[in-house]
């Protein structure tokens, strides 16, 4: 079973009973529950496991603490919400390093403050091996402004909020201990200490500028395929329009990797992926500027299904490749891969 099949199996067993105020269950960035008729609660959970999501020897604990918050609030931002409360479940081996733990806790507390949310409870357990951290984040949004993955329409333009593939490059550079380029520090930081686009997501939703939105955690090819499936549409992506830092090709060459694969399949960039009516182009660019982000239009929503990458062969002819679900899968890919 791959990750998607596991989720679909569990979703089929759990049903989607909406009588208790459930508006959206499994299948989006957050579960959505009615709060008071005008507002909704947004609930999300993410786990970081030593040896899978991070290497304890490479990841500074303060950055890991902030990352645990960032990857969770990213899902709240992806629905246009505001993160409010955090619950933490922490698993640590016996005889854990106390200074490591203190630095992790400080990163976590600083992250909560930065994104405007409050740690309100959780659980602490002994782990037989390594460190694990699960966060549940509870957020809030106006019911009419929540942006789901299912709202994309044929004719929409497709956007991302920043350069892609940087986190995958950073992880590979860290593993191999490669330094020596200014942009490499940015790649490393993108893996170690990503920033969630919560403010952008909230403003995109508040302005009614987008039809569908999610965050990029498993790579564009997989995440866009999820969005298309939920919306009952297909997508065409132009390879030449996919944004990435110039040094990505250098990083790929030095690590024996394929930078194109990082751009379409590299996980953990935590940029936002969204679709919008083509008339919103200039408004979107202006809003990106306000948030200090260079938004990039990368393709279009089409009738049908699947994700097609449109590129160019070396002889100048155009080439179309189906790329749906070619991103990171926890049960297909090697741990940490």
Q: Which residues form the interface with Mg ion (CB under 5 A)?
A: 29, 75, 215, 217
Angle, helix 182-192 to helix 61-77, in steps of 10 degrees:
70
In 3D, which of 161, 170, 138, 140 has the Cα closest to residue 63?
Answer: 170
* CB proximity list for 221: less than 8 A, separation 6 or greater: 264, 265, 307, 309, 323, 324, 325, 326, 327
The tokens for 149 are: 């993955």
User: Could you tell me the smallest distance in angstroms from the CB atom of residue 71 to Mg ion?
Assistant: 9
Measured from each CB, the residue nearest to Mg ion is 29
The tokens for 27 are: 């299948």
User: Could you tell me the smallest distance in angstroms from the CB atom of residue 252 to Mg ion?
Assistant: 26
Backbone angles phi, psi at 83, to 5 degrees: -70, 140
Pick 29 or 329: Cβ nearer Mg ion: 29
User: Could you tell me the smallest distance in angstroms from the CB atom of residue 215 to Mg ion?
Assistant: 4
Pick 77 or 163: Cβ nearer Mg ion: 77
Pick 222 or 255: Cβ nearer Mg ion: 222
User: Could you tell me the smallest distance in angstroms from the CB atom of residue 28 to Mg ion?
Assistant: 8
Pick 29 or 50: Cβ nearer Mg ion: 29
CB 86 within 8 A of CB 72: yes
User: Could you tell me the smallest distance in angstroms from the CB atom of residue 206 to Mg ion?
Assistant: 20
The tokens for 218 are: 């498993």
Pick 75 or 329: Cβ nearer Mg ion: 75
User: Could you tell me the smallest distance in angstroms from the CB atom of residue 165 to Mg ion?
Assistant: 18
Pick 45 or 291: Cβ nearer Mg ion: 45
In 3D, which of 159, 163, 197, 145 has the Cα closest to residue 275?
Answer: 159
C-alpha distances out from residue 175 to 87, 158, 169, 191, Å: 31, 33, 10, 11
The tokens for 168 are: 């995958």
DSSP code of 175?
H
């Amino acid at each position: 079973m791959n990750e998607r099949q596991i989720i679909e199996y569990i979703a089929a067993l759990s049903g989607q009973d909406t009588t208790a105020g459930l508006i959206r269950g499994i299948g989006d960035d957050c579960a959505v529950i009615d709060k008071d008729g005008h507002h909704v609660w947004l609930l999300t959970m993410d786990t970081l496991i030593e040896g899978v999501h991070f290497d304890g020897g490479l990841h500074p604990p303060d950055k890991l603490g902030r990352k645990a918050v960032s990857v969770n609030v990213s899902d709240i931002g992806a629905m246009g919400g505001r993160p409010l409360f955090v619950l933490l479940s922490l698993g640590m081996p016996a005889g854990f390093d106390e200074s490591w733990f203190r630095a992790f806790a400080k990163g976590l507390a600083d992250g909560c403050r930065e994104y405007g949310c409050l740690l309100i409870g959780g659980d602490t357990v002994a782990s037989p091996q390594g460190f694990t951290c699960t966060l549940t984040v509870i957020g809030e949004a106006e019911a009419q402004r929540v942006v789901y993955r299912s709202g994309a329409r044929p004719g929409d333009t497709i956007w991302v909020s920043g350069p892609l593939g940087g986190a995958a490059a950073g992880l590979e550079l860290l593993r191999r201990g490669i330094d020596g380029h200014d942009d490499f520090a940015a790649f490393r930081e993108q893996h170690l200490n990503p920033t969630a686009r919560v403010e952008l997501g909230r403003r995109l939703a508040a302005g009614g500028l987008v039809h569908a939105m999610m965050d990029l955690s498993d790579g564009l090819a997989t995440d866009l395929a999820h969005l298309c499936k939920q919306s009952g549409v297909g997508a065409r992506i132009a390879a030449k329009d996919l944004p990435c830092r110039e040094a990505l090709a250098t990083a790929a060459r030095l690590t024996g990797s394929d930078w194109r694969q990082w751009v379409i399949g590299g996980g953990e960039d935590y940029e936002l992926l969204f679709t919008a009516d083509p008339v919103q182009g200039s408004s979107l660019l202006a809003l990106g500027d306000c948030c200090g982000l260079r938004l990039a239009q990368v393709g279009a929503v089409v009738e049908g299904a699947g994700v097609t990458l449109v590129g160019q062969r070396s002889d100048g002819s155009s080439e179309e490749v189906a790329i749906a679900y070619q991103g990171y899968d926890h049960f297909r890919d090697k741990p940490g891969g």
